Structure 1
Protein backbone atom coordinates (compact mmCIF):
# COMPACT_ATOMS: atom_id res chain seq x y z
CA UNK A 1 0.00 0.00 0.00
CA UNK A 2 2.82 2.37 0.91
CA UNK A 3 4.56 1.49 -2.35
CA UNK A 4 1.43 2.41 -4.35
CA UNK A 5 1.08 5.74 -2.52
CA UNK A 6 4.75 6.55 -3.00
CA UNK A 7 4.52 5.74 -6.71
CA UNK A 8 1.43 7.93 -7.00
CA UNK A 9 3.21 10.83 -5.28
CA UNK A 10 6.21 10.48 -7.56
CA UNK A 11 3.94 10.44 -10.62
CA UNK A 12 2.21 13.65 -9.42
CA UNK A 13 5.58 15.30 -8.83
CA UNK A 14 6.81 14.36 -12.27
CA UNK A 15 3.57 15.54 -13.83
CA UNK A 16 3.86 18.86 -12.00
CA UNK A 17 7.42 19.61 -12.97
CA UNK A 18 6.90 20.15 -16.72
CA UNK A 19 3.98 22.52 -16.05
CA UNK A 20 5.99 24.51 -13.53
CA UNK A 21 9.02 24.56 -15.81
CA UNK A 22 6.87 25.61 -18.78
CA UNK A 23 5.26 28.41 -16.75
CA UNK A 24 8.70 29.62 -15.71
CA UNK A 25 9.92 29.63 -19.33
CA UNK A 26 6.82 31.55 -20.44
CA UNK A 27 7.19 34.12 -17.64
CA UNK A 28 10.88 34.57 -18.43
CA UNK A 29 10.24 34.97 -22.18
CA UNK A 30 7.39 37.41 -21.66
CA UNK A 31 9.44 39.45 -19.19
CA UNK A 32 12.50 39.48 -21.48
CA UNK A 33 10.79 40.48 -24.71
CA UNK A 34 8.32 42.97 -23.24
CA UNK A 35 11.26 44.57 -21.41
CA UNK A 36 13.16 44.92 -24.67
CA UNK A 37 10.11 46.26 -26.53
CA UNK A 38 9.38 48.80 -23.82
CA UNK A 39 13.02 49.71 -23.11
CA UNK A 40 12.91 53.03 -24.98
CA UNK A 41 9.45 53.77 -23.54
CA UNK A 42 10.72 53.23 -19.99
CA UNK A 43 13.74 55.44 -20.60
CA UNK A 44 11.56 58.16 -22.18
CA UNK A 45 9.03 58.31 -19.36
CA UNK A 46 11.79 58.04 -16.75
CA UNK A 47 13.70 60.99 -18.19
CA UNK A 48 10.64 63.17 -18.78
CA UNK A 49 9.32 62.30 -15.33
CA UNK A 50 12.46 63.89 -13.88
CA UNK A 51 12.23 67.00 -16.09
CA UNK A 52 8.54 67.40 -15.23
CA UNK A 53 9.44 67.24 -11.56
CA UNK A 54 12.03 70.01 -12.01
CA UNK A 55 10.44 72.75 -14.15
CA UNK A 56 13.07 75.20 -12.89
CA UNK A 57 15.82 73.44 -14.82
CA UNK A 58 16.71 75.78 -17.68
CA UNK A 59 18.32 73.47 -20.25
CA UNK A 60 16.24 72.90 -23.37
CA UNK A 61 13.52 75.28 -22.17
CA UNK A 62 14.10 78.17 -24.56
CA UNK A 63 10.92 79.83 -25.77
CA UNK A 64 10.33 81.95 -28.84
CA UNK A 65 7.34 84.23 -29.40
CA UNK A 66 6.33 85.75 -32.73
CA UNK A 67 3.42 88.07 -33.50
CA UNK A 68 1.97 88.42 -36.99
CA UNK A 69 -0.72 90.64 -38.46
CA UNK A 70 -2.69 90.38 -41.65
CA UNK A 71 -6.11 90.31 -43.28
CA UNK A 72 -8.18 87.27 -44.18
CA UNK A 73 -9.54 86.84 -47.71
CA UNK A 74 -13.19 87.69 -48.27
CA UNK A 75 -14.22 84.02 -48.44
CA UNK A 76 -13.50 83.53 -44.74
CA UNK A 77 -17.01 84.65 -43.79
CA UNK A 78 -19.54 83.69 -46.48
CA UNK A 79 -23.12 84.79 -45.80
CA UNK A 80 -22.00 86.32 -42.52
CA UNK A 81 -21.03 82.94 -41.07
CA UNK A 82 -17.41 82.11 -40.29
CA UNK A 83 -15.93 79.27 -42.34
CA UNK A 84 -13.58 77.98 -39.65
CA UNK A 85 -11.96 75.41 -41.94
CA UNK A 86 -11.01 77.95 -44.62
CA UNK A 87 -9.86 80.40 -41.96
CA UNK A 88 -7.66 77.82 -40.25
CA UNK A 89 -6.15 76.55 -43.51
CA UNK A 90 -5.40 80.10 -44.69
CA UNK A 91 -3.60 80.93 -41.44
CA UNK A 92 -1.78 77.60 -41.51
CA UNK A 93 -0.53 78.13 -45.07
CA UNK A 94 0.45 81.77 -44.54
CA UNK A 95 2.39 81.28 -41.31
CA UNK A 96 3.41 77.59 -41.44
CA UNK A 97 1.35 76.80 -38.36
CA UNK A 98 1.26 73.28 -36.94
CA UNK A 99 -0.90 71.34 -34.56
CA UNK A 100 -4.63 70.84 -34.35
CA UNK A 101 -7.31 73.51 -34.27
CA UNK A 102 -8.93 73.44 -30.86
CA UNK A 103 -10.70 76.47 -29.44
CA UNK A 104 -12.94 78.55 -31.70
CA UNK A 105 -14.91 81.43 -30.18
CA UNK A 106 -16.95 84.32 -31.51
CA UNK A 107 -18.72 87.36 -30.07
CA UNK A 108 -20.23 90.48 -31.59
CA UNK A 109 -16.89 92.04 -32.54
CA UNK A 110 -14.15 89.42 -32.50
CA UNK A 111 -13.49 85.78 -33.34
CA UNK A 112 -10.57 83.64 -32.25
CA UNK A 113 -9.12 80.22 -32.90
CA UNK A 114 -6.16 78.30 -31.54
CA UNK A 115 -3.66 75.76 -32.82
CA UNK A 116 -2.09 73.38 -30.33
CA UNK A 117 0.76 70.86 -30.45
CA UNK A 118 3.24 69.61 -27.81
CA UNK A 119 5.28 72.64 -26.72
CA UNK A 120 3.50 74.84 -29.26
CA UNK A 121 0.58 77.30 -29.21
CA UNK A 122 -0.76 79.70 -31.84
CA UNK A 123 -3.71 82.00 -31.12
CA UNK A 124 -5.40 84.15 -33.74
CA UNK A 125 -7.74 87.06 -32.93
CA UNK A 126 -9.86 88.31 -35.83
CA UNK A 127 -11.92 91.48 -36.18
CA UNK A 128 -15.28 90.52 -37.63
CA UNK A 129 -15.89 93.78 -39.48
CA UNK A 130 -12.58 94.02 -41.32
CA UNK A 131 -11.18 90.47 -41.29
CA UNK A 132 -7.88 91.77 -39.91
CA UNK A 133 -6.15 89.46 -37.47
CA UNK A 134 -3.36 89.31 -34.93
CA UNK A 135 -1.60 85.98 -34.57
CA UNK A 136 0.62 85.10 -31.60
CA UNK A 137 2.83 82.00 -31.91
CA UNK A 138 4.69 80.57 -28.91
CA UNK A 139 7.17 77.72 -29.55
CA UNK A 140 8.88 76.17 -26.54
CA UNK A 141 12.13 74.22 -26.39
CA UNK A 142 12.64 70.47 -26.86
CA UNK A 143 12.32 69.65 -23.15
CA UNK A 144 8.87 71.29 -23.03
CA UNK A 145 7.87 69.29 -26.11
CA UNK A 146 8.95 66.03 -24.45
CA UNK A 147 7.17 66.99 -21.23
CA UNK A 148 3.93 67.58 -23.12
CA UNK A 149 4.34 64.20 -24.82
CA UNK A 150 4.75 62.64 -21.37
CA UNK A 151 1.46 64.24 -20.30
CA UNK A 152 -0.23 63.39 -23.61
CA UNK A 153 -1.10 67.06 -23.99
CA UNK A 154 -2.14 68.22 -27.48
CA UNK A 155 -0.43 65.15 -29.00
CA UNK A 156 -3.37 63.67 -30.90
CA UNK A 157 -5.11 60.30 -30.93
CA UNK A 158 -2.12 58.32 -32.27
CA UNK A 159 0.10 59.35 -29.36
CA UNK A 160 -2.72 58.56 -26.96
CA UNK A 161 -2.62 54.98 -28.26
CA UNK A 162 1.15 54.94 -27.73
CA UNK A 163 0.66 55.90 -24.08
CA UNK A 164 -1.98 53.19 -23.62
CA UNK A 165 0.25 50.55 -25.19
CA UNK A 166 3.22 51.72 -23.12
CA UNK A 167 1.16 51.37 -19.94
CA UNK A 168 0.10 47.89 -20.99
CA UNK A 169 3.68 46.78 -21.71
CA UNK A 170 4.94 48.18 -18.42
CA UNK A 171 2.18 46.35 -16.57
CA UNK A 172 3.17 43.08 -18.26
CA UNK A 173 6.83 43.68 -17.42
CA UNK A 174 5.97 44.24 -13.75
CA UNK A 175 3.66 41.22 -13.46
CA UNK A 176 5.98 38.85 -15.32
CA UNK A 177 8.87 40.03 -13.13
CA UNK A 178 6.77 39.29 -10.04
CA UNK A 179 5.94 35.84 -11.41
CA UNK A 180 9.62 35.12 -12.00
CA UNK A 181 10.48 36.09 -8.43
CA UNK A 182 7.86 33.63 -7.14
CA UNK A 183 9.52 30.77 -9.03
CA UNK A 184 12.89 31.35 -7.32
CA UNK A 185 12.72 29.77 -3.88
CA UNK A 186 15.85 31.44 -2.52
CA UNK A 187 14.64 34.98 -3.23
CA UNK A 188 10.87 34.45 -3.14
CA UNK A 189 10.29 35.70 0.40
CA UNK A 190 12.63 38.65 0.02
CA UNK A 191 11.02 39.63 -3.30
CA UNK A 192 7.47 39.47 -1.95
CA UNK A 193 8.49 41.33 1.20
CA UNK A 194 10.20 44.04 -0.84
CA UNK A 195 7.14 44.40 -3.08
CA UNK A 196 4.85 44.74 -0.05
CA UNK A 197 7.11 47.27 1.66
CA UNK A 198 7.48 49.29 -1.55
CA UNK A 199 3.71 49.26 -2.15
CA UNK A 200 3.09 50.31 1.44
CA UNK A 201 5.54 53.21 1.23
CA UNK A 202 4.02 54.39 -2.05
CA UNK A 203 0.51 54.22 -0.60
CA UNK A 204 1.67 56.14 2.47
CA UNK A 205 3.22 58.87 0.32
CA UNK A 206 0.04 59.11 -1.75
CA UNK A 207 -2.06 59.52 1.37
CA UNK A 208 0.23 62.12 2.95
CA UNK A 209 0.39 64.29 -0.19
CA UNK A 210 -3.37 64.64 -0.61
Structure 2
Protein backbone atom coordinates (compact mmCIF):
# COMPACT_ATOMS: atom_id res chain seq x y z
CA UNK A 1 0.00 0.00 0.00
CA UNK A 2 1.52 3.35 -1.08
CA UNK A 3 1.85 6.08 1.53
CA UNK A 4 0.51 9.47 0.41
CA UNK A 5 2.62 12.49 1.51
CA UNK A 6 0.69 15.75 1.71
CA UNK A 7 2.10 19.02 0.32
CA UNK A 8 2.20 20.56 3.82
CA UNK A 9 4.41 17.71 5.03
CA UNK A 10 6.74 18.27 2.06
CA UNK A 11 7.04 22.00 2.84
CA UNK A 12 7.68 21.35 6.53
CA UNK A 13 10.43 18.92 5.59
CA UNK A 14 12.07 21.49 3.34
CA UNK A 15 12.20 24.21 6.02
CA UNK A 16 14.61 22.36 8.37
CA UNK A 17 16.70 21.36 5.36
CA UNK A 18 16.96 25.01 4.23
CA UNK A 19 17.83 26.14 7.75
CA UNK A 20 20.48 23.43 8.01
CA UNK A 21 21.95 24.50 4.65
CA UNK A 22 22.14 28.13 5.79
CA UNK A 23 23.78 27.09 9.05
CA UNK A 24 26.33 24.96 7.20
CA UNK A 25 27.08 27.85 4.81
CA UNK A 26 27.70 30.34 7.63
CA UNK A 27 29.72 27.85 9.65
CA UNK A 28 31.97 27.26 6.66
CA UNK A 29 32.37 30.99 5.98
CA UNK A 30 33.04 31.85 9.59
CA UNK A 31 35.57 29.04 10.05
CA UNK A 32 37.36 30.17 6.88
CA UNK A 33 37.59 33.81 7.96
CA UNK A 34 38.44 32.79 11.52
CA UNK A 35 41.45 30.67 10.58
CA UNK A 36 42.68 33.14 7.94
CA UNK A 37 42.55 36.06 10.39
CA UNK A 38 44.15 33.85 13.05
CA UNK A 39 47.01 32.97 10.71
CA UNK A 40 47.54 36.62 9.72
CA UNK A 41 47.50 37.90 13.30
CA UNK A 42 49.22 34.97 15.04
CA UNK A 43 52.77 36.34 15.27
CA UNK A 44 51.62 39.91 15.85
CA UNK A 45 49.20 38.84 18.58
CA UNK A 46 51.94 36.86 20.32
CA UNK A 47 54.31 39.83 20.08
CA UNK A 48 51.76 42.31 21.41
CA UNK A 49 50.68 39.96 24.21
CA UNK A 50 54.27 39.44 25.40
CA UNK A 51 55.13 43.14 25.15
CA UNK A 52 51.90 43.91 27.01
CA UNK A 53 53.41 42.01 29.94
CA UNK A 54 56.84 43.64 29.59
CA UNK A 55 55.26 47.11 29.39
CA UNK A 56 53.13 46.40 32.45
CA UNK A 57 56.29 45.45 34.36
CA UNK A 58 58.63 47.96 32.71
CA UNK A 59 59.73 49.34 36.08
CA UNK A 60 60.83 45.90 37.23
CA UNK A 61 62.83 45.02 34.13
CA UNK A 62 66.37 46.43 34.30
CA UNK A 63 67.73 48.18 31.23
CA UNK A 64 71.27 49.49 30.91
CA UNK A 65 71.58 52.16 28.22
CA UNK A 66 74.52 51.74 25.89
CA UNK A 67 75.84 55.01 24.48
CA UNK A 68 78.15 55.15 21.49
CA UNK A 69 79.65 58.35 20.13
CA UNK A 70 81.24 58.77 16.71
CA UNK A 71 83.03 61.81 15.39
CA UNK A 72 83.88 62.72 11.83
CA UNK A 73 84.74 65.75 9.74
CA UNK A 74 82.90 66.85 6.65
CA UNK A 75 85.20 67.75 3.72
CA UNK A 76 85.90 71.46 3.30
CA UNK A 77 84.16 71.75 -0.13
CA UNK A 78 80.94 70.43 1.38
CA UNK A 79 81.28 72.71 4.41
CA UNK A 80 81.56 75.66 2.02
CA UNK A 81 78.28 74.63 0.36
CA UNK A 82 76.52 74.96 3.73
CA UNK A 83 76.66 78.72 3.21
CA UNK A 84 73.66 78.32 0.90
CA UNK A 85 71.65 76.58 3.64
CA UNK A 86 69.48 78.95 5.77
CA UNK A 87 71.01 80.09 9.05
CA UNK A 88 67.82 79.40 10.98
CA UNK A 89 65.41 76.73 9.79
CA UNK A 90 63.80 73.39 10.57
CA UNK A 91 64.07 72.22 6.96
CA UNK A 92 65.68 68.81 6.35
CA UNK A 93 69.42 68.75 5.73
CA UNK A 94 70.55 69.45 2.17
CA UNK A 95 70.90 66.45 -0.12
CA UNK A 96 74.71 66.55 -0.25
CA UNK A 97 74.85 66.41 3.56
CA UNK A 98 72.39 63.48 3.58
CA UNK A 99 74.60 61.55 1.13
CA UNK A 100 77.78 62.33 3.07
CA UNK A 101 76.26 61.26 6.42
CA UNK A 102 75.05 57.99 4.88
CA UNK A 103 78.47 57.20 3.42
CA UNK A 104 80.61 58.38 6.33
CA UNK A 105 78.50 57.41 9.35
CA UNK A 106 75.76 55.14 7.98
CA UNK A 107 73.23 57.66 9.31
CA UNK A 108 70.01 58.39 7.45
CA UNK A 109 69.13 62.09 7.59
CA UNK A 110 66.68 62.04 4.69
CA UNK A 111 63.53 64.07 5.37
CA UNK A 112 64.45 64.51 9.04
CA UNK A 113 63.75 68.02 10.37
CA UNK A 114 66.73 69.96 11.63
CA UNK A 115 67.28 72.53 14.35
CA UNK A 116 69.54 74.85 12.42
CA UNK A 117 71.30 77.90 13.83
CA UNK A 118 74.11 80.02 12.38
CA UNK A 119 76.57 77.88 14.38
CA UNK A 120 75.37 74.31 13.87
CA UNK A 121 72.92 71.90 12.30
CA UNK A 122 71.31 69.53 14.79
CA UNK A 123 69.23 66.50 13.75
CA UNK A 124 67.25 64.39 16.22
CA UNK A 125 67.14 60.72 15.22
CA UNK A 126 64.75 58.91 17.60
CA UNK A 127 64.35 55.16 17.10
CA UNK A 128 62.60 52.19 18.73
CA UNK A 129 64.43 51.16 21.88
CA UNK A 130 66.73 54.15 21.90
CA UNK A 131 67.59 57.61 20.68
CA UNK A 132 70.22 59.26 18.55
CA UNK A 133 71.25 62.69 17.35
CA UNK A 134 73.84 64.31 15.13
CA UNK A 135 75.34 67.80 15.15
CA UNK A 136 77.47 69.49 12.52
CA UNK A 137 79.56 72.56 13.23
CA UNK A 138 78.93 74.86 10.30
CA UNK A 139 82.31 76.60 10.65
CA UNK A 140 84.65 73.63 11.05
CA UNK A 141 82.65 70.72 9.60
CA UNK A 142 83.13 68.72 12.80
CA UNK A 143 80.37 66.14 13.25
CA UNK A 144 79.30 64.31 16.40
CA UNK A 145 76.89 61.39 16.21
CA UNK A 146 75.59 59.85 19.43
CA UNK A 147 73.41 56.76 19.66
CA UNK A 148 71.76 55.32 22.78
CA UNK A 149 70.24 51.83 22.85
CA UNK A 150 68.29 50.30 25.73
CA UNK A 151 68.14 46.64 24.74
CA UNK A 152 65.81 44.24 22.97
CA UNK A 153 62.93 44.54 25.43
CA UNK A 154 62.86 48.33 25.11
CA UNK A 155 62.95 47.90 21.33
CA UNK A 156 59.97 45.52 21.35
CA UNK A 157 58.09 47.73 23.82
CA UNK A 158 58.47 50.69 21.46
CA UNK A 159 57.22 48.56 18.56
CA UNK A 160 54.15 47.78 20.69
CA UNK A 161 53.54 51.52 21.12
CA UNK A 162 54.46 52.39 17.54
CA UNK A 163 57.07 54.81 18.90
CA UNK A 164 59.42 56.14 16.21
CA UNK A 165 58.80 53.01 14.13
CA UNK A 166 58.17 54.56 10.73
CA UNK A 167 55.35 54.54 8.21
CA UNK A 168 55.48 50.86 7.27
CA UNK A 169 55.12 49.73 10.91
CA UNK A 170 52.32 52.29 11.36
CA UNK A 171 50.32 50.59 8.60
CA UNK A 172 51.26 47.12 9.85
CA UNK A 173 49.64 47.93 13.20
CA UNK A 174 46.44 49.01 11.42
CA UNK A 175 46.30 45.86 9.26
CA UNK A 176 47.09 43.68 12.28
CA UNK A 177 44.34 45.38 14.30
CA UNK A 178 41.80 44.73 11.52
CA UNK A 179 42.83 41.05 11.41
CA UNK A 180 42.35 40.85 15.20
CA UNK A 181 38.88 42.41 14.93
CA UNK A 182 37.90 39.88 12.26
CA UNK A 183 39.33 37.04 14.36
CA UNK A 184 37.37 38.20 17.41
CA UNK A 185 34.05 38.83 15.66
CA UNK A 186 34.13 35.55 13.74
CA UNK A 187 34.97 33.79 17.01
CA UNK A 188 31.96 35.46 18.64
CA UNK A 189 29.73 34.39 15.75
CA UNK A 190 30.98 30.80 16.08
CA UNK A 191 30.22 30.90 19.80
CA UNK A 192 26.69 32.05 18.95
CA UNK A 193 26.18 29.22 16.45
CA UNK A 194 27.52 26.57 18.85
CA UNK A 195 26.10 28.01 22.08
CA UNK A 196 23.05 25.72 22.10
CA UNK A 197 25.22 22.63 22.36
CA UNK A 198 27.78 24.28 24.66
CA UNK A 199 25.91 25.73 27.67
CA UNK A 200 28.99 27.36 29.18
CA UNK A 201 29.60 29.57 26.10
CA UNK A 202 27.61 32.67 27.06
CA UNK A 203 28.53 32.60 30.77
CA UNK A 204 32.20 32.61 29.75
CA UNK A 205 31.64 35.46 27.29
CA UNK A 206 29.80 37.37 30.00
CA UNK A 207 32.62 36.74 32.44
CA UNK A 208 35.12 38.08 29.92
CA UNK A 209 33.09 41.29 29.76
CA UNK A 210 32.25 41.52 33.46
CA UNK A 211 35.76 41.14 34.88
CA UNK A 212 37.35 44.22 33.22
CA UNK A 213 34.20 46.28 33.86
CA UNK A 214 34.27 45.45 37.60
CA UNK A 215 38.02 46.17 37.80
CA UNK A 216 37.53 49.50 36.03
CA UNK A 217 34.65 50.52 38.29
CA UNK A 218 36.12 49.38 41.61
CA UNK A 219 39.88 49.61 41.32
CA UNK A 220 40.71 52.30 38.73
CA UNK A 221 40.38 55.84 40.05
* Higher strand content, 1 or 2: 1
Find out whether 1:9 has 2:12 as its counterpart. Answer: yes
Q: 1:112-138, CA deviations, whole angstroms, 9 ceiling, x for partnerless residues?
A: 012233224221123333332322111
Give 1:67-146 correspondences, 5 Å limit. Answer: 67-73=69-75, 74-76=77-79, 77-81=82-86, 83-97=93-107, 102-146=112-156
Residue in structure 2 matching 1:166, options 161, 164, 176:
176
Counterpart-to-counterpart distance in 1, 2:220 and 2:100: 48
CA distance 1:22–1:121, change in 2 (3 Å): same
Deviations 1:9-31 (CA, angstroms, capped at 9, x unpaired): 33222211101111112212221
How far residue 204 of structure 1 moved from its aligned partner, in angstroms, is 4.6
Q: Give, in whole Å, the separation in 2 of the partners of 1:22 and 1:47.
A: 36
Task: Report how many aligned residue pairs link the two structures.
Answer: 205
Contact 1:113 1:123 in 2 (8 A): yes
The alpha-carbon distance between structure 1 residues 203 and 93, as it changes in their structure 2 partners (threshold 3 A), is farther
Query: Normalising by the residue count of structure 2, what TM-score does the alignment of the two structures yield?
Result: 0.78
Q: Could you report, residue by residue, the CA deviation over 1:83-139 in whole angstroms, capped at 9, with x for unpaired residues?
A: 433323322322223586634112343320122332242211233333323221112
> Kindly tell me: are residues 157 and 191 of structure 1, through their superposed partners in 2, closer, same or farther at Cα, counting changes over 3 Å?
same
Structure 1: 5+ residue stretches without partners: none
Equivalents in 2 of 1:126, 1:99: separation in Å? 12
Q: Find out whether 1:45 has 2:48 as its counterpart.
A: yes
Which has the larger Rg? 2
132-141 vs 165-174, which moves further: 132-141
Could you list the runs of 5+ residues in structure 2 that have no partner in the other structure?
Answer: 1-5, 88-92
CA RMSD of aligned residues (A): 2.6
**Candidates 196, 200, 204, aligned match of 1:194:** 204
Provide the C-alpha distance between the structure 1 equivalents of 2:174 and 2:114, rounded to a whole number of angstroms. 29
**Structure 1 stretch displaced more, 161-170 or 63-72:** 63-72
